[in-house]
Amino acid sequence: MGLGIGLVGLPNVGKSTTFNALTKAQNAESANYPFCTIEPNKAVVPVPDPRLDELARIVNPERIQYSTLDFVDIAGLVKGASKGEGLGNKFLSNIRETEVILQIVRCFEDENITHVEGSIDPVRDIEIIETELLLADMDALEKRIAALQRRAKGNDREAKAQLEVAQKLLEHLENEQPVSTFEDQENDAFKQLVRDLRFLTAKEIMYGANVNEEGLAEDNEYVQALKAYAAERNREVIKLCAKIEEEMVEFDEEEKQEMLESLGVEESGLDQIIRKGFEKLGLMSYFTAGVKEVRAWTIKQGTTAPKAAAVIHNDFEKGFIRAEVISYEDFVKYGGEAGAKEAGKMRLEGKDYIVQDGDVMHFRFNV
């Protein structure tokens, strides 16, 4: 769907190791020196969903198709990136093309892995990165203000309205506040600025606390400090050990579960990242279930039935007649489509129906 999550962080915090594990492929070079990632690595990652596995158990299809997310591993930022330091603006533009930012921060000591700042301090690392994002937004906005001022001199009413909001927003940024906390979010001029400039500090942010094995079961001092910082900003913290996640890449599900239990955790950090990233993007899944394929289809929350049908094929929307809908819970409870129908649990829904997460659907159309 073109919606992506960008992995960012300082050099040598475990981004590429996390990316390797996320994509089930060792295609992002990991090395103990800054800028080992030169071009952004992109990958499509399946979204774990036990509901799909349960549907497949009932239907016994030839194949299963999960929803997916795009992840982008972006080279390590350094202090001064907004002014071209390190690999600079190239990577800021890569972040701009994603919708959610996952900051990987190092929360463990290891004398064999150099930290670019010389010590371990996750809050400092976050503030370095977020300052660079803020400075980049200010630079983009200042350029837009200069252009709007030229247009406003010619009595361009739209330019004048946008200029007023842009100047307020710049003042907001100069006070070290991100675009996401700007008070006038519903202003049309503000929305236009966000669409045009794709502000970095307007994006949803999650923190990935990369710990060592000992840090998984119990929060160390670095994770505690990170969680306190995140709580003040209403942001998600997901704890993971990137090294162990990478080691588990080749494990089957049973071996993986045994490993997690031995480490005292219930869910893989990477599974949490994928699941929570899906939610942060405002996405959900509906299902189709047949003998050929059981499949999750990705849509935005609040999507109508015809728009949901278009994800399968545009013709489904053009000729939409109705949707046959069974909730996931009823599909499982009554052992499949036939049982749900017999129990009166299949509904016929029209063009205004808002698809719910987990709906099992079949579309009737005529083109």
- The per-residue pLDDT for range 232-244, each reduced to its tens digit, is 999 999 999 999 9
- The per-residue pLDDT for range 210-226, each reduced to its tens digit, is 999 989 989 999 999 99
Mean pLDDT of 97-121: 87
Segments making up each domain of the chain, as ranges:
4-47+68-120+203-280, 132-201, 302-365
CATH 3.40.50.300 fits 4-47+68-120+203-280, yes or no: yes
- The per-residue pLDDT for range 30-68, each reduced to its tens digit, is 444 444 444 557 778 888 899 999 999 999 999 999 988
Position 154, amino acid: G
Residue 16 annotated as part of some ligand binding site: yes
pTM for this entry? 0.83
Beta bridge partners, 295, equal 65, 288
Residue 30 annotated as part of some ligand binding site: no
Which pLDDT does position 17 carry in this prediction?
87
Which pLDDT does position 37 carry in this prediction?
43
- The per-residue pLDDT for range 124-155, each reduced to its tens digit, is 999 998 998 899 899 999 999 999 999 988 88
Which pLDDT does position 40 carry in this prediction?
55
- The per-residue pLDDT for range 77-98, each reduced to its tens digit, is 656 655 655 444 566 777 888 8
CATH 1.10.3210.10 fits 132-201, yes or no: no
Q: What is the rounded end-to-end Cα distance, in angstroms, of the chain?
A: 25
Rounded distance, CA 15 to CA 122, Å? 14
Residue 298 annotated as part of some ligand binding site: no
Residue 12 annotated as part of some ligand binding site: yes
Residue 144 backbone zone (phi > 0: left; psi -120 to 50: alpha; other: beta): alpha
Architecture of domain 302-365: Roll (3.10)
Mean pLDDT of 352-364: 97
Residue 13 annotated as part of some ligand binding site: yes
Domains 4-47+68-120+203-280 and 302-365 share a fold: no
Contact 70, 42 (CB under 8 A): yes
Query: Is residue 100 scored above 60 in pLDDT?
Result: yes
Residue 17 annotated as part of some ligand binding site: yes
Rounded distance, CA 112 to CA 14, Å? 13
Instruction: Give the pair of three-digit tokens for residue 130.
Output: 């977020």
